[in-house]
Structure 1
Amino acid sequence: MRMLALHLAVLAGIAALQFVLPAYHHTNAARILVLATYAIGFNIAFGYTGLLSLGHALFFAGGMYATGLLIDQGGWQPWAALLAGPVAGGVLAAGVGLLALRTAGPAFMIVTLMFAQAFHLAILYWGRFTGGDEGFTLSGAARRIGPFDLADPTTRYGAAFLLFAAAMLGCLALVRSRTGRVLIAVRENEERTRMLGYDTFRAKLLALALSGLLSGAAGATYGLMFGYVGGSFAAIQYSILPLIWVLLGGAGTVLGPLLGTALLFYLIDWASSVTTASQFVVGAVLILLVLFAPRGLLGLLRDCGLRSLP
């Protein structure tokens, strides 16, 4: 109950922020919440199951393009196309998992990276439909779901908050359930988990599918919220970023993805405003993190005594 109260308090604080944030930070906060949802999806695979994927941009961009193309080329209603995003992410993740999970370790990383790069190249090749590297924009009418206009800052923040809240509470329920315990057991010692009678392949496939579903939902929402679908979201950068967000906030913690996403977003924003060598500053901070807090900031708090942190 303490942990539930903590997470509900965090959500209440985030909901209250929209009434006090200036316009610039209001937009940034909505962006961070959606990207943090993407990081939560990645954390289910990596932080809780031990699956280090370098191809999650496939699921994020897959959800984004599924929604964007269905609206732009298929004439779908935005609400129906939005639902297609998480479905596309989950199906892509399950399909990749059926092949990639036959490998392990570095081989798994390489296979997932290859799938993501193939998808990125396909976007560039079929530029006539996808817009290529430049992408395409969604009209104002395409961003309206019933009476709600996602171009409106308040509506956009509310949509981002609802998505993040659902993802965070769902993740909290998952990791404290029997299924979540099995995923953690796979991460800690897959061979022993298999000896205890659990189907570890099935558990890893489930984790990857759930991860892809959340990633696809984040990608679809991001595209609708900001009215843009582009090939850059399928590049390797968007496979590396969720890894950094999770490592910074704390892998295997429910709140770690949010903390890591917000910190890195504003670290890049601040470094860009004070120096042209912003990437050097970000890299130096990440090196210090690896040296002094290898489990991330919330992982450090857990090691320092807050052991019940999920």
Structure 2
Amino acid sequence: MNETSKSHSLHLGLIAVLALSYFVLPAYHSGNLASVMVIAIYAMGYNLLFGYTGLLSLGHALFFSAGLYGLGLVMHLANWTPLPAFAAGLIAALVVSAVIGFLILRTTGVAFMIVTLMFAQAGYLTILYFGKYTRGDEGFALKQASRQIAGYDLTDPGVRYFCALLLFSVTLLGLAYIIRAPFGRTLIAIRENEERARMLGYNVTAIKLKAVILSGVVSGASGATYALLFGYAGATFATVQYSIFPLLWVLVGGAGTTVGPFIGALFMFYLIDYASGKTEAYLLVVGVTLVLVTLFLPHGIVGTIRTRFLRWLP
């Protein structure tokens, strides 16, 4: 079996395990898995920019919240149905990522990180400023009656789970294909040696812009999915911590790996869930664990497995 076949088997196997998990896990854990799959989409979008292109963003919450509010506002204020509203969320993320990408790519290195953080904060303050419509930090809930597609109630745990699985699967397989395609290989070339890629004739800035837009749209899709499946949109999702979370998920799972973002999101979700149930100082436990992971698994969980044992891991 060649590497491509092994990669396909891994991705399809993960999807199959997640599908079967709903039938064997208690309701509590299947509900958690639905949340993890949604945030893993966000992490995969971030990984495309950071893990594969080498651009460290501290402002991805802007794209997540663009999708979140793009869907949430049209459903909440204009009574749109879910599918057109989901498209609105994607369009909002596309427009925001295109505009922001055009501006932030004028900077590099530390300046790039700072500028992405500043734009994310501007987005957060904009949400607060228009609190009459967004309800600010309080947020708003989407009506249960409006969250239905073709007669399927998205508030039902089973329907919610398999909707999350469907979107997760499409994102995972789509990004896996993109990474193996010429565009993905070009991103990796830019990450490894940007000057050499430029000398070979690639329009590095244009390719980076495409990466920012694609990363932003995937992150926005995660935000729109979260609002649709869990029925809530709030300014909390636009804060700095929601820009840091995908970075942590990717670092823990393995930057530049296709399944690493999911593993990192799953690990961090249950670490916080378990630690918060044992002590009020759960953030200390999380911090110590992250330090240990960084010291002993510098390439993340999946990245370290790939480096030491299974070189074919995508």
Aligned counterparts of 2:90 and 2:219: Cα–Cα separation in 1: 7
Aligned counterparts of 2:35 and 2:254: Cα–Cα separation in 1: 20
Deviation readout 1:221-241 (Å, 9 max, x if unpaired)? 100111111000000111000
What secondary structure does 2:78 align onto?
Answer: coil
Aligned counterparts of 2:80 and 2:127: Cα–Cα separation in 1: 21
User: 2:256: which partner in 1?
Assistant: 252
The one of 92, 100, 105 equivalent to 2:104 is 100
> Contact 1:86 / 1:215 at 8 angstroms: preserved in 2?
no
> Contact 2:252 / 2:293 at 8 angstroms: preserved in 1?
yes
Deviation readout 1:55-84 (Å, 9 max, x if unpaired)? 100000110001010111122222100111
User: 2:163: which partner in 1?
Assistant: 159
User: 2:283: which partner in 1?
Assistant: 279
User: 2:22: which partner in 1?
Assistant: 18
What secondary structure does 2:261 align onto?
Answer: helix
Aligned counterparts of 1:239 and 1:224: Cα–Cα separation in 2: 21
Tell me, yes or no, if structure 1 residue 139 matches structure 2 residue 143: yes
Tell me, yes or no, if structure 1 residue 301 matches structure 2 residue 305: yes
* Structure 1 position 138, deviation (Å): 0.5
Aligned counterparts of 1:154 and 1:75: Cα–Cα separation in 2: 24
What secondary structure does 2:276 align onto?
Answer: helix
Tell me, yes or no, if structure 1 residue 230 matches structure 2 residue 245: no
What secondary structure does 1:73 align onto?
Answer: helix
Alignment of 1:17-166 (within 5 A): 17-166=21-170
* Structure 1 position 303, deviation (Å): 1.1
Which moves more between the two structures, 78-87 or 54-63? 78-87
The one of 175, 178, 190 equivalent to 2:179 is 175
The one of 262, 265, 287 equivalent to 1:261 is 265
* Structure 1 position 47, deviation (Å): 0.3
* Structure 1 position 275, deviation (Å): 1.3
Aligned counterparts of 1:259 and 1:86: Cα–Cα separation in 2: 25
* Structure 1 position 3, deviation (Å): 1.1
**Could you tell me which amino acid in structure 1 is paired with residue 135 of structure 2?**
G
* Structure 1 position 147, deviation (Å): 1.1
What secondary structure does 1:85 align onto?
Answer: helix
RMSD (CA atoms): 0.8
Please, what TM-score do these two structures have when normalized by structure 1?
0.99
User: 1:3: which partner in 2?
Assistant: 7
Deviation readout 1:234-261 (Å, 9 max, x if unpaired)? 0011100000000000000000000000
Query: Which structure 2 segments of 5+ residues have no match?
Result: none
Aligned counterparts of 1:273 and 1:68: Cα–Cα separation in 2: 31
**Could you tell me which amino acid in structure 2 is paired with residue 122 of structure 1?**
T
Deviation readout 1:149-194 (Å, 9 max, x if unpaired)? 1100000001100010001001110111111000000101101100
> Contact 1:86 / 1:212 at 8 angstroms: preserved in 2?
no
> Contact 1:90 / 1:211 at 8 angstroms: preserved in 2?
no
Aligned counterparts of 2:310 and 2:17: Cα–Cα separation in 1: 21
**Could you tell me which amino acid in structure 2 is paired with residue 79 of structure 1?**
L
Aligned counterparts of 1:71 and 1:80: Cα–Cα separation in 2: 9
User: 1:199: which partner in 2?
Assistant: 203
* Structure 1 position 146, deviation (Å): 2.0
> Contact 1:57 / 1:238 at 8 angstroms: preserved in 2?
yes
**Could you tell me which amino acid in structure 2 is paired with residue 224 of structure 1?**
L
**Could you tell me which amino acid in structure 2 is paired with residue 263 of structure 1?**
F
Aligned counterparts of 2:234 and 2:217: Cα–Cα separation in 1: 20
Aligned counterparts of 1:227 and 1:106: Cα–Cα separation in 2: 36
* Structure 1 position 305, deviation (Å): 3.1
Please, what TM-score do these two structures have when normalized by structure 2?
0.97
Identity in percent: 55
Moved over 6 A (4+): none
User: 2:296: which partner in 1?
Assistant: 292
**Could you tell me which amino acid in structure 2 is paired with residue 230 of structure 1?**
G
Count of residue pairs the alignment pairs up? 310
